[in-house]
Amino acid sequence: MLAKEIAEKVSEKKQQRKKLYKRTLIVVCIAQIFGGAGLAAGITVGALLAREMLGTDAYAGLPTALFTLGSALAAFAIGRLTQKLGRRRGLVAGFMAGGLGAVGVVFAALISSIILLLVSLFIYGAGTATNLQARYAGTDLATDKQRATAVSIAMVATTLGAVAGPNLVGVMGQFALSIGVPA
């Protein structure tokens, strides 16, 4: 009788873990699609804004360089924070920093401040680092046999977003104009 109860509890825990794994992977994929789209569009818009504000293409690579540097430094910081406080808190902090950078980019466009734009793109890089690290959250609950598939699914979701993002820049630019923000 005791062995049967233990077997039932083990089976129940496996089912719960399986459901949680599927839900987590779905959330990770949705986040990767939106994150990939936003980050890819952000790089495009950052370069266009810098060119517009500076009046030359000579420094068009500067926003991307700052964005990449911000991403590299944020990856380290978010990794340390994740080790200390857990993956969820680390990812939340990273996405919040990336969001703060995105808000800064919008304000930089509104007031035509190249300094604010460059600083904001540096901070915006935290979103990329976080998006890259979030892929692996889908593997936390995966079994050994599911782990590679889970990462692959998350990477495909990122790719879908990264392809869609720059293609939405024009549409979102029109929306921005309709609410009084520079395209």
pLDDT above 80 (res 1): no
For 38-70, write each residue's pLDDT tens digit. Answer: 888 888 888 888 888 888 888 878 888 998 999
Give the pLDDT confidence of 150-167 residue by residue, as tens digits.
888 888 888 888 888 888
pTM for the structure as a whole = 0.80
Structural domains present in the chain = 30-163 (1.20.1250.20)
Q: Which one of 42-51, 78-87, 133-142 scores highest in mean pLDDT?
A: 78-87
Distance CA 123, CA 127 (A): 8
**Phi-psi region at 55: left, alpha or beta (left = phi > 0; alpha = psi -120 to 50):** left
Contact of 43 with 55, CB cutoff 8 Å:
no
- Hunting for tokens 């460059």 — which residue is that? 118
pLDDT for the residue numbered 175: 86
